[in-house]
Amino acid sequence: MKTLVLYYSYSGHARALAQSIAEQEHADVAEIRDIKRPNILKAYVLGAPAAMKAKEWPIAPLGVKLGDYECLHIVAPVWAGNPAPQVNALFVQIPAGKSVRVTMVSASGTSKCQPWVAELIRNRGSVLDAFADVRG
pLDDT in tens, 72-105: 999 999 999 999 999 999 999 999 999 999 999 9
Phi and psi at 12, nearest 5°, equal 105, -15
pLDDT mean over 103-126:
91
Query: pLDDT tens across 24-40, in order?
Result: 999 999 999 999 999 98
pTM value is 0.94
Q: Sign of torsion, CA 80 7 131 94? A: positive
| Per-residue model confidence (pLDDT) at position 84 | 94
* SS3 assignment, position 47: helix
Q: Closest Cα partner for 85 from 113, 43, 125, 124?
A: 43
In this prediction, what percent of the chain has a pLDDT beyond 70?
A: 100
